[in-house]
Amino acid sequence: MITAPQPPTAPRLPARIRGPRALAVAGVVLLAVTACTTTPPGGGPDEPGPDGTGTTPPGDAATAEPEQSALQVALGGPDPDLEEAAAEAVAGMSVEDQAGQVLVGQLGAAGTDPASLRDLHLGGVIVMGDAVPMAADGTHDVTALADRLDDTREALSEGREHGGIISVDQEGGLVARVQEPLVEWPTPMSYGAAAAGQADATRLARDGHALMARALAELGFTVDFAPSVDVTIGAEDPAIGARSFSADPQVVADLGAAASAGLLGAGMLPAPKHFPGHGSVTDDSHVTAPIQDAAVADLDQRDWLPFRELVSGGQYTPMVMMGHVIVPELEPDVPSSVSAPAYEALRGLGASPDGTGAGAGEGYDGVVVTDALNMGALVERYGANEAPVRALAAGADLLLMPSSVPGARDAIVEAVQSGAVPRDRLEEAARRVVTMLMWRDGLVRELEEATPEELSAVGSPDGADTDGTVSGGAETDEARAEAAQTSRAVSAAAVTVVEGTCGEALVGDSLQVTGGDARDRARLTEAARAAGLTVGSGPVVNLVGTARGAGQGDVVVALDAPFGLASSAAPDDGALIALYGRTPGAFEALVDVLTGAVEAPGALPVDVGEWPAGTGC
């Protein structure tokens, strides 16, 4: 049972850890995509203004808010004219085309070749790992991928006045469908560890996601199903783990907003996921439907807090993903992705009771996309074509990865024609999808026309190719270097000494590398040798490559989630370290800590065994 969060207490630090961290994150400032009000001359409200009255006269330039750039206005969300244009476009579609518009198929499956995309009027595609071509050297052939996505983009755009969805799951860490030669990113939990260590993690999250998105946009992607804003419960969470930023709901909310802003700043549509929260259940929805026994009142304080802040705050959130978790208090034995009360709960988070704010009292009206409809949580309950119909009827707007795209399209058409699904429900879903896609088209135009200063003001990487066309399929050397540097900075801010002496060398001029996989060992070896160390003798550095794996050595390093450190062992003069990633930059940051060149600045963002969140140097 999840209970409401308790007031933070000081972490119980092991005796050899010096400099305890507070659990609260200090100095976290979210990216504002709207202009800020300036303080008028005279300071605060009780100090005299220019006229000596304590207020600044109406119309005085000092009181005026800075005028928003066209880019800032665009980031605020669709305007009424755009919504009307989308409604007109959908009204002109047949039932068959409206049904296709709300479907996203897995690239390479039936119905996703260019001819079928045109015939089915499909909303878009998602690229999974098996759709990414391989190069002769074993890396991903991004040029061939870009060519394929260019053909897909043309097919999705034909006969429409808006672009299509070319999507991917690219979170960093283990969930990265497109890999080398793109710059690799550490796990999302890295940002939470940096935040717990009191680094400026929101800036890192914004910049990291913006640079990751820039590389995806250059290949032709338009949507990244990220970030995960699930609040993890720790070792008992089998599906999310290091995909979660933190066990602290407010930290997750802050970092989720920053990550979403970074993606949008590169022209990539984000989809925060997985409502009603997948980090606090003990089953994996890839296999079965997890049951969330917590009361809605408790969920509202924990799992739903990040979603509420995203859909009701000052930053526009175009899309949210609905997971397959069952919440009995909402609807017994029904996965949320096909449960009308679950969609109503999510929509209601965007409502502002006083009629002000982003929700304006009406609730969230962006796109709600399902998690993959071919997952075990639904397949074990419904047929291939029944799940998408149920999801649409319950309130979904975008139906992701049905088992059969042609079958799902035909089933939706049949359900609408028979009256099982009201026509206006399909039209509403299609309207929201088309509104989102038209809005992205306009946002990309503003990004292309913005000045470097305007881009910087919203955290957008300068020079991003966001127009949906392909620029050769690879990052420039300069862009790649910038991304690699930022990726390393994230890991450097996150690395955490959970047990051991801080700020002192843990190895001498040599070390032995064990554990992990061949690539992990090769990368640590390369980083060690680059730092002047000899590899093959000396203290044993044991790499733990799985979230709950355990190890023994002079130094034990958890490369993914840190949960396995609870059952790992190191001598009194050794250390247990959480790295939260296995990128080249992560291993370079690790070597800096091993040699004592730097003190590990990160702190645990989640409880690990006897060590509470906040443990670190």
Cα–Cα distance, 615 to 617 (Å, whole number) = 7
3-state secondary structure of 22: coil
Tokens standing for 434? 């088309």
3-state secondary structure of 468: coil
Cα–Cα distance, 580 to 560 (Å, whole number) = 5
Element of type H or E holding 131 = none
Residue that has been written with the tokens 């005279």 in this structure: 42
Q: Interior CA angle at 347 toward 270 and 88, to 5°?
A: 75
Phi-psi region of 555 (alpha: psi -120 to 50; beta: other; left: phi over 0): beta
Torsion of CA 37, 42, 48, 49, to 10 degrees: -60
Torsion of CA 105, 109, 111, 114, to 10 degrees: 90
Q: Which of these is catalytic: 97, 224, 303, 371?
A: 371
Q: Which of these is catalytic: 60, 119, 150, 286?
A: 286
Within 13 Å of residue 414, how many CA atoms lie on the same side as its CB?
11
3-state secondary structure of 115: helix
Q: Is 274 a catalytic residue?
A: no
Tokens standing for 255? 């970092």
Contacts of 462 (CB under 8 A, 6+ apart): 452, 455, 456
- Using the Cα atoms of residue 588, residue 594, residue 599 and residue 603 in order, give the sign of their dihedral: positive
Tokens standing for 360? 């304006």
β-strands 510-515, 534-544 pairing? parallel
Tokens standing for 190? 């890295």
Cα–Cα distance, 275 to 371 (Å, whole number) = 10
Tokens standing for 407? 């079958």
Cα–Cα distance, 105 to 122 (Å, whole number) = 8
Residue 184 β-bridge partners: none
Q: Is 162 a catalytic residue?
A: no
Phi and psi torsions of 186, nearest 5°: -70, 180
Within 13 Å of residue 316, how many CA atoms lie on the same side as its CB?
23
Residue 363 β-bridge partners: none
| Residue 476 near residue 484, CB atoms below 8 Å | no
Write the DSSP symbol of residue 523: H
Cα-based distances in Å from 556 to 202, 498, 576, 577: 29, 10, 5, 6
Cα–Cα distance, 480 to 460 (Å, whole number) = 16
Torsion of CA 247, 248, 250, 252, to 10 degrees: -20
- Residue 449 burial (C-beta neighbours within 10 Å; 0-12, 13-18, 19+): exposed
| Residue 516 near residue 540, CB atoms below 8 Å | no
Count Cβ neighbours within 10 Å for each residue of 427-444 and write b for 16 or more, e otherwise: bbbbbbbbbbbbbbbbbb
Q: Look at residues 316, 328, 296 and name the one whose alpha carbon lies nearest to residue 358.
A: 316
Active site residue ranges: 286, 371
